[in-house]
Structure 1
Amino acid sequence: MPGPAAAAPAPRLTSTVAKEYVHRACHAEVFLTGSEQLTDTTFAVTAQWPRAHTFFSTPDGTRHDPIQAAETIRQAGLYLAHTRFGVPLDHKFMMWNLDYTTRSRQLLIGAAPTDLTLEVQLLAQPRRSGTTVDFTLETVVRRGAQLAATGYARFTTVPDSTYQRLRRGRHSAELPAAPTVTAEPLPPARVGRLRPCDVLLAPADAPGTWHLTPDFWHPILFDHANDHIPGMVLLEAARQAANALSSPATVTPTAAATTFHRYAEHDAPTTITAQHTPGGDPDALTTTVTGHQHGEPIFTTVLTGHPDHR
């Protein structure tokens, strides 16, 4: 008499990683689904982008926003720091650089969510000095077998006690009053956006210069309370400034390289300045965007994209 049939293998189940690992409050804003260590310095990280996202999509709704690649690369750095490099969850992160380059065809939204594999490589073993950890990552993002994006990011992590000393009394998640800007925000279409609530810029007096006017209650840009303006908000402001400078043409930056110089404070007036600069691709538009508070630079972004004159 035949024995009992062998049990079918259990299906592979997929979920996002814990939101705490990527410093997000909302589960829906977590794009990573897992990781595997391949070598001492190389990791495979899986991710998924939804077909529809209220913020990370192009105005025509046909493509994923290239900045979603930057956010996914950022999340990969935080996730690996906590799960592979031994950085405690209560340590604070400083992001010094965040670069991305995307391939537009691989950002097309299909009939199913977009599954991605990130090959993340440490450029060197994390440098440790006491309880401080400094590490740099290069990332290759694939959609199936196709290259979708590449990226580069550098982080430093410090204990909360060190962070409090660095922040000199500003270490509080309570949002102060934003600086008063009397000008009305720019029209959404001028900054490559559809919704007024997503606009971050208002006109300033000088050409090619705008005031940063973030909404601290924005559910994605300010997913959780913080004691400074997040780097991803500054990157979005840079993209909007590139569009404002090029208007009425719309520019979707397929590549950007950002250096963060210092913290952007909530309560300090922030000016964003953009100018067209020479680039390596004669068919593309290169824009350099800088942000300043009290006359000091807080970030610099060089964006490259092809203008759409429709």
Structure 2
Amino acid sequence: MYRTDHGSTITAATTVPKELVHKRAVEEVLLTGWEPTGPDTYRVTARWPRVRAALAAGGGLYDPMLLVETVRQSFPLLSHAAFDVPLGHHLVWDRFSFALVPELLLVDRPADQDWDDIRLDVVCQDVVRRGNRVCALTLSYMISRAGEPLATAQTRFTVQAPAIYRRLRAERADAAEMMARAVTPGPPIRAARPDAATSQDVALSATDHARRWQLRVDTSHPVYFDHPVDHVPGALLLDACRQAAQAIAPSAPVLAVAMECVFTSYVELDEPCLVEAARLPRDPAGRDRIGVTLHQGPETASCSTVVTVVPHPDNPTR
């Protein structure tokens, strides 16, 4: 996962209010503004920190997870600012996908520029309301960097009022208690993140099966656990899927250029979670695809993802 540069000059004045993107630390806020561009269409602006974000992916590239986090921050921003969802309501992911142009992840801007400007043009679709309140929403994105098309993305999520959420989560509704009960993370496997700066960024721990791992949940991670949560964050699940694909890709190291993810249940902090990966047929462009599922228990997967990868620029077999 990317890390923002905590030594930068970013301030609350240069970003949207941190509460609107569900962050406590202003240095983790990537979004800088938003405006309506038409009926249920919006433009969201962001800035990417050039230094640590680039180092995370190696080869002078931005980490694809930085794109994921940029899009993720736009969910609460638009929910609260554009659709009047009250603060304290919970946004629950149903599905998420993206596809990006890997060449545009290169950090090739002048050295005196600390940031890259990112623009997200968002179309809101299939809006479901209960009374005057939005309770489900699909967002489709065209994302550009310096005016060049960088990526597309789409997500569907539901909105739950605090009372409903507490009832659904029952004895697991208390975030502080669940954080205290989190499973101790096992030893990291470097094959999942050979470029990781610290073990915090490795989301997988080995099991006795070559293509099965235990999810590592390090609640001290400054990005995933910027504030207490009662379940494993969806962004960490996506990173675990990306890392599982890295671990079994036929031509490692690789770069994730597309993901299609369906979330079917919460991944709990206090139970072990298994991550399993299998190679799939290549896509029409000849790119490798890996299917990844996350399980807590023997039945329905909590999260199912298809990850499309290409050889990383650092890959010597490229």
Give the alignment's TM-score, normalised by structure 1.
Answer: 0.89
Preserved CA contact (<8 Å) 1:99 1:152: yes
Q: Contact (CA 8 Å) 1:270, 1:293: kept in 2 or not? A: yes
Answering whether residue 259 of structure 2 is matched by residue 256 of structure 1, we say yes
Determine which of 61, 64, 68 is the counterpart of 1:63.
61
Map of 2:93 onto structure 1:
95
Is residue 42–residue 123 contact of structure 2 (8 Å, CA) maintained in 1? yes
**Counterparts of residues 110-149 of structure 1 (less than 5 Å):** 110-111=109-110, 112=113, 113-124=115-126, 126-130=127-131, 131=133, 133-149=135-151
Q: Map Cα deviations across residues 186-209 of structure 1 (whole Å, 9 max, x no partner).
A: 12x543432223111111122310
Partner of 1:169: 171
Alpha-carbon distance change, 49 to 158 in structure 1, aligned in 2, over 3 angstroms: same
**Using the alignment, how far apart are the partners of 2:162 and 2:13 within structure 1?**
33
Counterpart of 2:106? 108
Determine if contact 1:74/1:98 at 8 Å carries over to the other structure.
no
- Could you tell me which residue of structure 1 aligns to residue 239 of structure 2? 236
In 1, are the aligned partners of 2:182 and 2:270 still within 8 Å (CA)?
A: yes
2:7 paired residue number: none
Task: Choose 275-284 or 67-76, whichever is displaced more.
Answer: 275-284
TM-score of the aligned structures, taking structure 2 as reference length: 0.87
Preserved contact between residue 59 and residue 194 of structure 1 (Cα < 8 Å)? no
Letter in 2 for 1:90: G
Percent of aligned positions with the same letter in both sequences? 34
- Matched residue pairs, number? 294
One-letter amino acid of the counterpart of residue 283, structure 1: G
What is the DSSP-based 3-state SS (H/G/I as helix, E as strand, rest coil) of the residue aligned with 1:207? coil
The answer as to whether partners of 1:283 and 1:306 remain within 8 angstroms in 2 is no
Between the aligned partners of 1:123 and 1:279, the Cα distance in structure 2 is 31
The aligned amino acid for 2:104 is Q
1:232-256 deviation line (CA, Å, top 9, x unaligned): 0000101111111127711110111
Gaps (5+ residues) in structure 1?
A: 1-12
**Structure 2 CA distance for aligned equivalents of residues 56 and 22 of structure 1:** 24
Look up the equivalent residue of 2:264 and give its one-letter code.
Answer: H
CA distance in 2, matches of 1:224, 1:204: 30
Q: Deviations over 1:206-263 (max 9, x none)?
A: 2310011211111112111100000000001011111111277111101111111110
Which residue of 1 is the match for residue 276 of structure 2? Answer: 273
Answering whether residue 195 of structure 2 is matched by residue 193 of structure 1, we say: yes
Q: CA RMSD in A?
A: 2.0
CA separation of 1:259/1:156 partners in 2, compared to 1, >3 Å: closer, same or farther?
same
Larger Rg: 1
